[in-house]
């Protein structure tokens, strides 16, 4: 009998993981749910359905003893649980306690269990760690710089959490950075908050479905427990992404959804309602690597959209309600939400306006007609026309990948201290350790950043996973522009969407109070 501890079972990925894991014979699941009303009902329903195969613990990730109870006697920890946007934008303290504190609690509980050698730890990370991308570098991979977008509390807490997992010395861990998940509640969740306006029309996006994400969890446990998981899987970071069909732009995603209503993005939105940068998302150059281990990329996205169109009542609205009315009552009513750019303009929140639009009142000068707005998916950029279909090919991508600052053609077992020095220099700092065992990527070395902070970290965490200084390269504060002046590794992508004059620190102070409200 295999026992799996699962967090986030009420979420879009966790709920699919639960369902699909329980399709396996000889498997028992332990889940942790926060004791709120909807979860009490969910727990009751699940216990009725799965009876003695499921153990429901009501508690909180931020409580160590709850995590200890959850991981007791388990073989795997699947950590999907997190407070995600938009909730994380409004509740920063509880997001930190849950996302970082909760991950730390789970890892510590495994380390203290006396069974750390046996328990396998799967951390679900996020594409949001990479921060903003545009047409200059739409493709990315594990090892690229980690620069969460300014004011993205969720990504900041997940960055710190992933580093903790990587550096804990667990013999069996992986961190799987999840891209955006297409799921049945996506539209409903999105039309409740100004977060809807945070998707850049030209952001490169990669989608996987909730079904494929659940399959990934099931196959991981299945293949590993039956001994068919390929060698070399553990102690790594991977991107969870789609095959070619899932790669699109922010505009396309809205358009696919609105088409189901018989409309289009251009009918429901104006171009200047959404932000133009400081989002996250990219096309994963390396998601086929994880698929080669876990064989999860199965769902046809077009079919999935069609299925949603048939299943969900509000997609039928378009047939009876004129687009202007849908736009007015579904979308424009969110203009006054505290997470909406027009609200920031109203209260003159200069930090947010600059972070999401750029300096000098860019929002005021954005075109409000689609004909005047260059859309990447139509092959248009502010610098002129490009061949969008060519940009989407892996061949084009291979010529536009970011530099990781060391000789990547060397096999891992050949990497030595000279590679560490080279990588540190590209990060504006130094590798202080004078020696290392050639090829040993998991013994910690000492490093120093440009600002003199000294820290210990494994070669894997730095060279392969893209982390750097735990003091200055982790928000808060948000100051990637300042850092990019000293760190070429960051500079190669940060200036794609920022002016060289943007080297300050973004404010987060008393004027945040009206925006951030704790529960």
Give the Cα separation of 105 and 67 in Å (integer): 6
Is 8 within 8 Å of 33 (Cβ atoms)?
A: no
Is 77 within 8 Å of 121 (Cβ atoms)?
A: yes
Q: Provide DSSP, 141-155.
A: -TTS---PPTT-HHH
SS3 at position 133? coil
Is 406 within 8 Å of 423 (Cβ atoms)?
A: yes
Shortest distance in whole angstroms from residue 498 CB to Zn ion:
20
Give the Cα separation of 20 and 215 in Å (integer): 6
**Residues at the interface with Zn ion (CB under 5 A):** 449, 451, 453, 469, 471-472
Is 80 or 159 the residue whose CB approaches Zn ion more closely?
159
Strands 180-182, 204-209: parallel, antiparallel or unpaired by DSSP? parallel
SS3 at position 171? coil
Is 318 or 470 the residue whose CB approaches Zn ion more closely?
470
Give the Cα separation of 505 and 169 in Å (integer): 34
Is 33 or 483 the residue whose CB approaches Zn ion more closely?
483
Shortest distance in whole angstroms from residue 454 CB to Zn ion:
9
Q: Please name which of 187, 192, 289 lies closest in space to residue 237, comparing C-alpha atoms.
A: 289
Shortest distance in whole angstroms from residue 426 CB to Zn ion:
15
Shortest distance in whole angstroms from residue 288 CB to Zn ion:
34
> Which structure tokens are listed for 463?
């060279």
At which residue do the structure tokens 């950590």 appear? 79
Is 494 within 8 Å of 480 (Cβ atoms)?
A: yes
Is 345 or 453 the residue whose CB approaches Zn ion more closely?
453
Shortest distance in whole angstroms from residue 472 CB to Zn ion:
3
Is 115 or 486 the residue whose CB approaches Zn ion more closely?
486
Shortest distance in whole angstroms from residue 141 CB to Zn ion:
24
Q: In what order do the strands lie in the sheet with 2-7?
A: 54-58, 27-33, 2-7, 76-79, 120-126, 173-178, 236-240
Shortest distance in whole angstroms from residue 86 CB to Zn ion:
30
Give the Cα separation of 276 and 203 in Å (integer): 8
Q: Which residues lie below 8 Å from residue 332, measured CB to CB, with a gap of 6+?
A: none
Give the Cα separation of 447 and 433 in Å (integer): 7
Count of positions (residues) in the chain: 519
Is 4 or 449 the residue whose CB approaches Zn ion more closely?
449
Shortest distance in whole angstroms from residue 469 CB to Zn ion:
3
Is 421 or 486 the residue whose CB approaches Zn ion more closely?
486
Shortest distance in whole angstroms from residue 449 CB to Zn ion:
3
Is 251 or 480 the residue whose CB approaches Zn ion more closely?
480
Strands 384-385, 380-381: parallel, antiparallel or unpaired by DSSP? antiparallel
Give the Cα separation of 79 and 77 in Å (integer): 6
Is 317 or 432 the residue whose CB approaches Zn ion more closely?
432
Shortest distance in whole angstroms from residue 422 CB to Zn ion:
19
Q: How many Cα atoms occupy the beta-carbon half-sphere of 53 within 13 Å?
A: 15
Is 141 or 160 the residue whose CB approaches Zn ion more closely?
160
């Amino acid at each position: 009998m295999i026992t799996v501890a699962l967090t986030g079972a009420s979420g879009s990925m966790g709920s699919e993981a639960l369902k699909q894991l329980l399709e396996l014979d000889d498997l028992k699941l332990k889940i942790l749910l926060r004791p709120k009303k909807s979860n009490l009902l969910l727990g009751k329903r699940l216990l009725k359905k799965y009876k003695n195969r499921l153990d429901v613990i009501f508690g909180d990730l931020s409580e160590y003893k709850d995590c200890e109870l959850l991981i007791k006697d388990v073989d795997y920890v699947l950590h999907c649980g997190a407070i995600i946007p938009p909730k994380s934008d409004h509740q920063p303290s509880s997001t930190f306690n849950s996302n970082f504190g909760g991950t730390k609690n789970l890892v510590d509980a495994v380390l203290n269990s006396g069974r750390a050698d046996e328990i396998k730890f799967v951390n679900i990370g996020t594409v949001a760690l990479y921060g903003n991308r545009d047409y200059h570098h739409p493709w990315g991979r594990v090892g690229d710089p980690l620069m969460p977008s300014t004011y993205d509390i969720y990504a900041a807490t997940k960055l710190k959490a992933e580093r903790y997992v990587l550096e804990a010395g667990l013999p069996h861990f992986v961190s799987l950075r999840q891209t955006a998940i297409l799921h049945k509640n996506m539209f409903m969740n999105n039309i409740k908050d100004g977060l809807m306006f945070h998707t850049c029309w030209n952001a490169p996006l990669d989608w996987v479905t909730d079904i494929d994400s659940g399959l990934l969890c099931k196959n991981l446990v299945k293949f590993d427990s039956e001994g068919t998981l390929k060698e070399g899987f553990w102690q790594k970071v991977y991107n969870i992404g789609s095959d070619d069909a899932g790669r699109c732009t922010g505009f396309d995603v809205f358009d696919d959804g609105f088409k189901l209503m018989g409309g289009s993005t251009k009918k429901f939105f104006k171009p200047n309602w959404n932000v133009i940068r400081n989002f996250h998302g990219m096309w994963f150059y390396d998601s086929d690597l994880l698929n080669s281990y876990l064989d999860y990329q199965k769902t046809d996205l077009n079919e999935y959209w069609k299925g949603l169109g048939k299943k969900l009542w509000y997609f039928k609205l378009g047939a009876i309600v004129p687009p202007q009315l849908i736009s007015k009552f579904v979308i424009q009513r969110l203009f006054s939400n505290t997470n909406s750019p027009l609200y920031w303009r109203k209260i003159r929140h200069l930090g947010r306006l600059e972070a999401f639009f750029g300096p000098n009142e860019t929002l005021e000068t954005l075109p409000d007609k689609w004909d005047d707005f260059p859309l990447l998916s139509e092959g248009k950029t502010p610098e002129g026309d490009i061949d969008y279909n060519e940009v989407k090919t892996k061949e084009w991508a291979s010529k536009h990948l970011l530099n990781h600052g060391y000789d990547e053609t060397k096999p891992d077992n050949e990497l030595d201290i000279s590679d560490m020095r080279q990588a540190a220099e590209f990060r504006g700092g130094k590798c202080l350790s004078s020696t290392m065992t050639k090829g040993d990527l998991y013994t910690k070395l000492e490093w120093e950043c440009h600002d003199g902070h000294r820290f210990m970290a494994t070669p894997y965490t730095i060279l392969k996973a893209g982390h750097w200084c735990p003091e200055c390269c982790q928000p808060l504060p948000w100051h990637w522009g300042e850092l990019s002046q000293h760190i070429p590794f960051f500079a190669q992508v940060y200036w794609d969407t920022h002016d060289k004059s943007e080297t300050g620190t973004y404010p987060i102070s008393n004027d945040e109070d009206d925006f951030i409200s704790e529960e």
